[in-house]
Amino acid sequence: MASLSWRKSSRSTASSNCVEVAFLEGAWRKSSRSANTANCVEVARRDAVVGVRDSKDPGGGVLVFSAARWADFVGGLIRVRA
């Protein structure tokens, strides 16, 4: 059974009040264009948010975007590439 991995910002301190977001371990994906290199970002979707992390430091911080903003970002990449 997959477990939840709670993440908070790498910029938070032990004494700060932070929002944590849980992502399902095993749900993180790298781009199919990344081949076998470790120099990538990974993404995971959970409900209405998308998390982005550095594949070289999976235990590090996670950037969290709304699913709508992530779709805008990806759509912009597709338009630029075309």
Report d(CA 66, CA 11) in Å as an integer.
Answer: 20
Which amino acid, 73? F
Beta carbons of 39 and 56 less than 8 angstroms apart: yes
Beta carbons of 62 and 23 less than 8 angstroms apart: yes
Q: What is the pLDDT of residues 48-71, one digit of tens each?
A: 888 888 888 877 778 888 889 999
Which stretch of DSSP H or E encloses residue 24? strand 21-24
Residue indicated by tokens 């790498």: 10
Long-range contacts of 74-78 (CB under 8 A, 24+ apart): none
pTM for the full predicted model = 0.63
Q: What is the pLDDT of residues 18-29, one digit of tens each?
A: 666 666 666 788
